[in-house]
Amino acid sequence: MKIRKAVFPVAGFGTRMLPATKSIPKEMITLVDKPLIQYAVEEAVEAGIEEIIFITGRFKRAIEDHFDKSIELEMALKESNKDKEYEILTKISEMCDFITVRQKEQKGLGHAIYCARDVLGKDPFVVILPDDIIYYRESVTGQLIKKFEEVESPVLAITEVPLNETNKYGIVDVKEKIDSRTFSLKGMVEKPKNNPPSNFAIIGRYVLTYDVLKSIEDCGTTHGEIQLTDAIRRVTESSGSYGYLYDGVRFDCGNKLGYLDATLHFAMNREDLKNDFCKIIKKYC
Ligand code: G1P
């Protein structure tokens, strides 16, 4: 079955990026020349996603506006013969369908995803956490969907992290290594304080099934929140799931250093900017 829908939880306050996020959503902060969220949306569209469901909160209107048509601006660009800009702009709203669902209270990632249940129905779906920006050759969401089509169970993007950072992530418990990138899982823990089951962390890309959505319903809380990790663990214990070591470089753009790292990486990989940007950087080192 073709996976058509992706859920983007974007209701968070972005406190780690204050004061930049006082009046603009953290997802709208610019990385080189596009808002962060556009990178994740493009990754989803490249993977064949046709419908994106933003789980938003108050003060997040700018995200909806960015992916909406901007008739006045498009007309102004057309009249002044700015064809290239016109094309870039019209493409944004035409990439796919965008739906917005409000998360009225912030009760955790599991709760955010559960807010999309009526739109998702019973089909498998993708979850993308847009703080995790990934530089890739092939859409990481696309890599996970391919794996899902093969294993027909939930697939989670994973990466190795230093042991002393396992308390910042969902950490998977591996059952068996299937191939160089694929691991069958027997469990997972959200931000373990001690004794992590491995040093493979869950990164913000998932392909999930209706079972996971249903499991969120009566999940309880961990660290005071309804956790997506707990719901996936329950499904894993009954019918299995997989971790996939994706091909790509991930940046945590929800914090300042991760964001700066991403800025350098993305700019240095742009043919139109690389040489001049390199000269600028050399002034500082
Ligand atoms: C969320 C998930 C966590 C995952 C992380 C990846 O945590 O709950 O399992 O490892 O994203 O970025 P957050 O960073 O939102 O607290």
Q: List the beta bridge partners of residue 174.
A: 185
Q: What's the predicted TM-score (pTM) here? A: 0.95
Which has the closest alpha carbon to 58: 27, 103, 115, 15?
A: 103
Separation CA 30–CA 74 (nearest Å)? 21
Residues with CB under 6 A from ligand 1: 109, 129, 132, 169-170, 190, 201-204, 228-229
Instruction: Please enumerate in sequence order all residues whose Cβ is within 8 A of that of 6, keeping only pairs 6 or more positions apart, or say none.
Output: 44, 49, 51, 52, 53, 125, 126, 127, 128, 141
pLDDT digits (tens, 9 = 90+) for 35-51: 999 999 999 999 999 99
Q: Whose CA is nearest to atom 9 of ligand 1?
A: 170
What number is the average pLDDT over the span 249-263?
95
Per-residue pLDDT, 33: 94
Residue 150 near residue 207 (C-beta atoms within 8 A): no
What's the gap in Å between 112 CA and the centre of ligand 1?
13
Q: Whose CA is nearest to atom 10 of ligand 1?
A: 169
Residue 142 near residue 47 (C-beta atoms within 8 A): yes
Per-residue pLDDT, 58: 83
Alpha helix ranges (H) inside the chain: 36-46, 61-66, 71-79, 83-94, 109-114, 117-120, 140-151, 210-216, 228-239, 256-268, 274-282
Residue 1 has pLDDT above 80, yes or no: no
Q: Whose CA is nearest to atom 11 of ligand 1?
A: 204
Residue 202 near residue 244 (C-beta atoms within 8 A): no
Separation CA 184–CA 239 (nearest Å)? 11
Which has the closest alpha carbon to 43: 181, 120, 148, 135?
A: 135
Delimit the domains of the chain by residue range.
Answer: 5-282
What number is the average pLDDT over the span 23-32?
94
Q: For a substitution probing ligand 1, which of 36, 134, 199, 202 has the most ligand atoms within 8 Å of its CB?
A: 202
Separation CA 285–CA 200 (nearest Å)? 34
For the domain made up of 5-282, give the CATH fold. Answer: Spore Coat Polysaccharide Biosynthesis Protein SpsA; Chain A (3.90.550)
Task: Name the DSSP letter for residue 19.
Answer: T
Separation CA 32–CA 19 (nearest Å)? 19
Separation CA 267–CA 251 (nearest Å)? 14
pLDDT digits (tens, 9 = 90+) for 104-143: 888 999 999 999 999 999 999 999 999 999 999 999 999 9
pLDDT digits (tens, 9 = 90+) for 173-204: 999 999 999 999 999 999 999 999 999 999 99
